[in-house]
Amino acid sequence: MRKIGYLRVSTEEQRPDRQIDGLRTECDELHIETLSAVSKKRPIYEAVIEKLRPGDMLVVWDLDRAYRSARDALNEFSALDQRGVAFRVVNFPIDARTAEGYYCFTVMSANNELERRILSRRTKEGLAAARARGKILGRPYKLSSDQIAHACREIGSRRITVTEMARQYDVGRWTLTKAMRRHQSTEAT
């Protein structure tokens, strides 16, 4: 029986070390994916599922590292089971092929989905509260107000092109154009 490990982290900043350490001794192979749980396409996961054969085992560290919702977990477990592929969650050591184990698996899947939805809601509420207090969210602008005003004057007087000005400020042409539009729309109001 081959034991194939699947690991997932949501961003490049997150480290899979905990999962690697936990699965290294449990698995013959480890496959690491870096993308959000809510992504529609998961190429590494799909490749792992494709290569599994009857008698193999898919191993994950935590249920939420592999599945984004209770429905996903249950559907995938059922599909693997029909193919003769075993499934193991290291941090939740139950046999989901038994009636009791399947029940626990279902409850745990629903609990993971609840946690994800609560976290999402809290994040949205926090962002809304920050915006209501006037906090500007997102990546900071690359150009200052003075630089944008200067670019508008220079380009407006045709002393320099947008491309040359963007190169001078070490930004992309689109970044400069967008900043100038934003500047002009605030001046118009």
- Tens digits of per-residue pLDDT, 110-128? 998 999 899 999 999 999 9
Asked whether residue 166 carries a pLDDT value surpassing 70, the answer given is yes
How far is the C-alpha of 170 from the C-alpha of 35, rounded, in Å? 30
Asked whether residue 189 carries a pLDDT value surpassing 70, the answer given is no
Structural domain boundaries in the chain = 3-118, 145-188
- Do 5 and 30 touch, CB atoms closer than 8 A? yes
Burial of 7 (0-12, 13-18, 19+ CB in 10 A): buried
Q: What is the mean pLDDT of the chain?
A: 91
Please tell me the predicted confidence (pLDDT) of residue 115.
92
Confidence class for position 92, pLDDT limits 50, 70, 90: confident
Please tell me the predicted confidence (pLDDT) of residue 139.
84
For the stretch 124-161, pLDDT in tens is 999 999 999 999 898 888 999 999 999 999 999 999 99
Active site residues: 10
Count the Cβ atoms, other than its own, within 10 Å of residue 145. Answer: 11
How far is the C-alpha of 35 from the C-alpha of 133, rounded, in Å? 31
Please tell me the predicted confidence (pLDDT) of residue 97.
83
Asked whether residue 23 carries a pLDDT value surpassing 90, the answer given is yes
0.75 surpassed by pTM:
no
CATH superfamily for domain 3-118: Resolvase, N-terminal catalytic domain (3.40.50.1390)
Asked whether residue 176 carries a pLDDT value surpassing 70, the answer given is yes
Asked whether residue 70 carries a pLDDT value surpassing 80, the answer given is yes
Asked whether residue 13 carries a pLDDT value surpassing 90, the answer given is no
- Do 85 and 54 touch, CB atoms closer than 8 A? yes
Please tell me the predicted confidence (pLDDT) of residue 14.
87
How far is the C-alpha of 175 from the C-alpha of 45, rounded, in Å? 36
Burial of 23 (0-12, 13-18, 19+ CB in 10 A): buried
- Do 67 and 73 touch, CB atoms closer than 8 A? yes
Instruction: From 47, 62, 37, 48, select the one nearest 2 (Cα to Cα).
Output: 48
Asked whether residue 188 carries a pLDDT value surpassing 90, the answer given is no
Please tell me the predicted confidence (pLDDT) of residue 86.
93
If DSSP codes are grouped into helix, strand and coil, which group holds residue 172?
A: coil
- Do 109 and 73 touch, CB atoms closer than 8 A? yes
